């Protein structure tokens, strides 16, 4: 089996009598984008801070490529690039000067060619010689990604990376992370933005009140826990004739609230081809047939409601 890039086992963080993180375990595989999902204050940032040793955990084990962060910290952390809060730079220096300053502090020798390669990867070629004070928030985020990548890490860690970004900036970040994952880089990202996590992640874990309450594969999650019956959206014309036929066939449906000819029909998927054939034979025009799958937001609300929590 392939060695996980990140392994967290029974992580606990206590402050006084209060337990902030309660027995959390998960792993991140090579080339995987793994999301920590949960409301603000759930403990996501504490997990990330524990991984990079900005805070000391109370108990549990954290390994990066098999290296324990406590007993072999230097070897473990050299494989990590992270932005735990908003990336900070020297505003009166150019982007390139900032990257070179950061490179000079690395234990690993960073060549000018490597810096140039990273600048191209994050699409900052046109702005890299401008002062950072002139950068937009999205450009600063790209420079932050460049900084995190400069020493060629195997694991990238981001805490709420799209906060404050506009939709274009979010999309750009998402595409960058997917490109890096294709190159074998693993990404651990925390967020409370469900839609973004659904578009970005391969797997996700839900963190509530310091506990890991759910972990799932994103591709499987949209079909997991679904009953045999599924809801199908069908646009059928003419409206009145379609209504009469469906009723005569004892097929339950719900019409779109705006009164248009959009039907939502609950059916076993294997019955849909015959229904389409029957509608066509009855001279019904069929413009749309599509299954309605549950979004991550709907699944999140189901899970957290079941567990007595909610997204704030």
The number of folded domains in the chain is 2
Mean local confidence (pLDDT), 69-84: 90
- pLDDT digits 0-9 by tens, 138-164: 888 889 889 988 888 999 999 888 777
* Together in a domain, 139 and 244: no
* Together in a domain, 205 and 71: yes
Residue 20 has pLDDT above 50, yes or no: yes
Q: Which of 196, 127, 129, 121 is nearest to 158 (CA)?
A: 196
Does any domain span residue 168?
A: yes
How far is the C-alpha of 193 from the C-alpha of 168, rounded, in Å?
Answer: 15
Does any domain span residue 299?
A: no
Looking at residue 2, its pLDDT comes to 81
Looking at residue 150, its pLDDT comes to 87
Does any domain span residue 146?
A: yes
Looking at residue 107, its pLDDT comes to 75
CATH number at 242 reads 3.30.70
Instruction: Look up the domain containing 248 and give its range.
Output: 230-292
Residue 312 has pLDDT above 50, yes or no: no
* Together in a domain, 103 and 147: yes
CATH number at 166 reads 3.40.50.300
* Together in a domain, 203 and 277: no
Q: For residues 309 and 22, which has the higher predicted lDDT (pLDDT)?
A: 22
Upstream peptide bond of 79 is cis (omega within 30 degrees of 0): no
* Together in a domain, 213 and 239: no
Burial class from Cβ neighbours inside 10 Å (0-12, 13-18, 19+) for residue 83 reads: buried
Helix (H) or strand (E) holding 186: strand 186-191
Residue 225 has pLDDT above 50, yes or no: no
Q: What is the overall mean pLDDT for the chain?
A: 85
CB 203 within 8 A of CB 32: yes
* Together in a domain, 209 and 260: no
How far is the C-alpha of 176 from the C-alpha of 157, rounded, in Å?
Answer: 14
Looking at residue 307, its pLDDT comes to 56
* Together in a domain, 206 and 256: no
* Together in a domain, 82 and 153: yes
Q: Percent of the chain beyond pLDDT 70?
A: 89
Helix (H) or strand (E) holding 141: helix 137-149
Residue 299: which pLDDT band, with cuts at 50, 70 and 90? low
Looking at residue 302, its pLDDT comes to 60
Residue 189: which pLDDT band, with cuts at 50, 70 and 90? very high
* Together in a domain, 202 and 241: no
Residue finishing a domain among 221, 253, 273 = 221
Does any domain span residue 309?
A: no
Mean local confidence (pLDDT), 36-46: 88
Residue 310: which pLDDT band, with cuts at 50, 70 and 90? very low
* Together in a domain, 141 and 30: yes
Residue 223: which pLDDT band, with cuts at 50, 70 and 90? very low
Highest mean pLDDT among 82-91, 123-132, 185-194: 123-132
Residue 293 has pLDDT above 80, yes or no: no
Mean local confidence (pLDDT), 83-94: 85
Does any domain span residue 172?
A: yes
Looking at residue 303, its pLDDT comes to 59
Looking at residue 308, its pLDDT comes to 52
Does any domain span residue 312?
A: no
Residue finishing a domain among 203, 221, 239 = 221
Instruction: Give 221's strand partners.
Output: none
């Amino acid at each position: 089996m392939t060695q996980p890039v990140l392994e967290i086992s029974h992580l606990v963080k206590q402050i006084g009598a209060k337990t902030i993180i309660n027995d959390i375990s998960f792993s991140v595989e090579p080339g995987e984008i793994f999301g920590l999902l949960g409301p603000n204050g759930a403990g996501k940032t504490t997990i990330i801070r524990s991984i990079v040793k900005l805070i000391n955990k109370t108990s549990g084990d954290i390994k990066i490529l098999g290296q324990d962060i406590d007993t072999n910290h230097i070897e473990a952390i050299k494989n990590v690039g992270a932005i735990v809060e908003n990336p900070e730079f020297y505003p009166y220096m150019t982007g390139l000067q900032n990257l070179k300053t950061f490179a000079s502090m690395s234990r690993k020798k960073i060549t000018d060619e490597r810096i140039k390669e990273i600048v191209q990867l994050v699409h900052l070629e046109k702005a890299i010689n401008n002062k950072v004070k002139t950068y937009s928030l999205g450009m600063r985020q790209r420079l932050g990604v460049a900084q995190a990548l400069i020493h060629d890490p195997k694991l990238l860690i981001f805490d709420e990376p799209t906060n404050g970004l506009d939709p274009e900036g979010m999309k750009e970040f998402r595409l960058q992370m997917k490109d890096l994952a294709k190159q074998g880089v693993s990404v651990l990202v925390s967020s409370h933005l469900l839609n973004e996590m659904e578009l970005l992640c391969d797997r996700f874990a839900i963190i509530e009140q310091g506990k890991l309450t759910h972990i799932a594969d994103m591709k499987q999650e949209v079909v997991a826990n679904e009953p045999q019956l599924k809801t199908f959206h069908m646009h059928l014309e003419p409206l009145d004739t379609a209504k009469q036929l469906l009723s005569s066939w004892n097929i339950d449906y719900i019409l779109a609230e705006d009164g248009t000819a959009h039907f939502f029909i609950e059916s076993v998927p294997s019955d849909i081809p015959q229904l389409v054939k029957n509608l066509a034979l009855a001279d019904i025009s069929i413009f749309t047939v599509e299954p309605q799958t549950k979004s991550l937001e709907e699944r999140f609300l189901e899970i957290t409601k079941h567990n007595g929590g909610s997204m704030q």
